Amino acid sequence: MTMEEFKRSLKDMHPPADTSVYLQALWLEAAGKWAQAHHLVDQLETEQAYWVHAYLHRREGDLGNAHYWYRRAGRTMQDIAPEREWEQLVGYLLG
């Protein structure tokens, strides 16, 4: 799947079934379903889950919690628009 295909799928009712749980969480967040997105990654213990988790808390506005999850992911919160980070995350996860 390409970035453009992923973005087009945001018009669908559900995230693409053939994508990772991390991409499904980012899809849900972009569709305005933050709680569902958070639920998908909340208990996962991988670097990718931590980064998505951090991003979600950044979008929520809980920057203290976001910083904690960025540290768990081995990253720092970047000084870029959240929309740009969403694209970076999606691109990274699409490989």
State how far the Cα of 8 lies from the Cα of 5, in Å rounded to an integer. Answer: 5
Read off the pLDDT of residues 18-36 as tens digits, 9 standing for 90 and up.
999 999 999 999 999 999 9
Read off the pLDDT of residues 55-83 as tens digits, 9 standing for 90 and up.
999 999 999 999 999 999 999 999 999 99
Q: Where are the domains of the chain?
A: 21-94
Give the Å distances, CA to CA, from 23 to 39, 62, 64, 83.
Answer: 13, 21, 24, 15
Q: How many helices (H) and strands (E) does the chain have?
A: 6, 0
